[in-house]
Copies of this chain bind each other. A is one copy, B any other.
Amino acid sequence: MDPLTSRQTEILDFIRRQIAEQGLPPTRAEIVNAFGFRSLTAADDHLRALARKGAIELRPGASRGIRLLDEPTLAAAANDEDSLPLVGKVAAGVPITAIEQIESWYRLDRHLFHPQPDFLLRVQGWSMRDAGILPGDLLAVQRTAIAENGQIVVARLGDEVTVKRFQRRGEQVQLLPANPDFTPIRIDLRREELAIEGRAVGLLRTGGFVLA
């Protein structure tokens, strides 16, 4: 699959969410509405780009004729409400939810969480200690490419994946740790690439509590 632009990823995420939540792929008009476009063509252009890059399949003439092509794993799991994949070691350049990245599956009803997560990620390090997120915890993450200020996000900088609180002012993004022993990460979006992989929607701690 050809690499997607961030806007295209947003559109793809929206389609994915619609299918998961509404049971129906969106129409052009619904995309236009969700993103505040003023022209149907904007949505159509994005769909064609996604189809050209192999992310979706379009069925000419059919209403809502959008089909997800990539990552059968998450698509299949979207139907299987009963389990969540644990994403393991994250390799450089590869989408975090690619099939090879999945380490195991947890039997865990995703409806327990609000909003619903798409995968679990094992937390490393103490940088989010004061948000109650400790090493070894399983973070429940909802896939999204966009984040709002104050949300705890799973962000990717090159081949590094990190969990931090998101803060954006114009083109300046700060990834804030929840622990005074760590320093915030500053990113200038004009010069550096930042990919949001998802936002934290819950947490699962399966082991006992060791002495801190």
Q: Does A51 contact B (CB under 8 A)?
A: no
Which of B23, B64, B204, B206 touches A68 (beta carbons < 8 Å)? B23
Evaluate contact between B206 and A62: CB separation under 8 angstroms: no
List the B side residues contacting A113 at CB < 8 Å.
206-207
Interface-facing stretch out of A40-48, A88-96, A128-136, A186-194: A128-136
The 8 Å CB contact of A208, one of B64, B129, B200, B207, is: B200
Interface flag for A108 (CB, 8 Å): yes
Contact indicator B112/A204 (Cβ below 8 Å): yes
**C-alpha spacing A64/B209, complex, angstroms:** 34
Asked whether B200 lies within 8 Å of A202 as measured between CB atoms, the reply is no
Task: From B106, B114, B209, give the contact of A200 (CB < 8 A).
Answer: B209
Q: A204 contacts B201, CB within 8 Å?
A: no
A34 lies within 8 A of chain B by Cβ: no
Q: Is A155 an interface residue (CB 8 A)?
A: no
Contact (Cβ within 8 A) A65 B208: no
A211 within 8 Å of B (CB atoms): yes
- Near B by CB (< 8 A), chain A positions 9-32 give 19, 22-25, 27
A23-B25, A65-B24, A132-B134 known; A207-B211 Cβ under 8 A: no
CA distance A108 to B110 in the complex (A): 10
A27 contacts across to B, CB distance below 8 A: 63
When distances are taken between beta carbons in the complex, the residues of chain B under 8 Å from A72 are 81
24 A-B residue contacts at CB 8 Å? A23-B66, A23-B67, A24-B62, A63-B64, A64-B64, A106-B112, A107-B109, A108-B108, A108-B112, A112-B204, A112-B206, A113-B206, A114-B207, A114-B208, A131-B212, A132-B132, A151-B208, A152-B208, A200-B209, A201-B207, A202-B204, A202-B208, A203-B204, A204-B205
Q: A114-B207, A202-B206, A203-B203 are in contact. List 11 more A-B contacts (CB 8 A).
A: A24-B25, A72-B81, A107-B111, A107-B112, A108-B108, A129-B132, A199-B208, A200-B209, A202-B205, A202-B207, A203-B204
